[in-house]
């Protein structure tokens, strides 16, 4: 993709991946991760994130040969791992704040002696 746009049409996404628009609509019905915005009349608007999601699905199904169920499972596992990493990062940040707070308390105790 050359110039970045905010939204892409279903035709542009189809051209990008050299697939029919019907395949994109079909996958929308099978992958909860693929949810473009729809204008009045059902015209789809795809963001860069939607295209990245479509690329993941395309790679799993068309390139690697996974079934739809297999690709759904992998996407769900990836989402679960990302959520776990976010939780670990949040906990680590909280622990670092506690460590910093305890360091401040230690410093104030030492200085008051």
pLDDT digits (tens, 9 = 90+) for 68-80: 999 999 999 988 8
Model confidence pLDDT, tens digit, residues 27-80? 999 999 999 998 888 899 999 999 999 999 999 999 999 999 999 999 999 888
Q: Please compute, for residue 45, the number of CA atoms within 13 A of its CA located in the half-sphere on the CB side.
A: 8
Q: Left, alpha or beta for 65 (phi > 0: left; psi -120 to 50: alpha)? A: left
**Is the pTM value of this prediction over 0.95?**
no
pLDDT of residue 2: 55
Specify the CATH number of the domain 10-112. Answer: 1.10.1660.10
- Domain extent listing, the chain: 10-112
- Read off the pLDDT band of 97 (50, 70, 90): very high
Can you tell me whether residue 113 is helix, strand or coil? coil
pLDDT of residue 12: 95
């Amino acid at each position: 993709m050359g110039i970045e746009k905010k939204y892409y049409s279903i035709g542009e996404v189809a051209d990008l991946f050299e697939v029919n628009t019907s395949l994109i609509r079909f996958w929308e019905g099978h992958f909860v991760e693929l949810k473009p915005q729809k204008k009045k009349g059902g015209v789809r608007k795809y963001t860069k994130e939607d295209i990245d999601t479509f690329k993941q699905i395309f790679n799993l199904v068309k390139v690697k040969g996974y079934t739809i169920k297999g690709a759904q499972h992998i996407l769900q596992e990836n989402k679960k791992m990302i959520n776990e990493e976010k939780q670990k990062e949040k906990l680590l940040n909280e622990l670092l704040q506690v460590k910093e707070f305890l360091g401040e308390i230690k410093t104030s105790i030492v200085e008051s002696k």
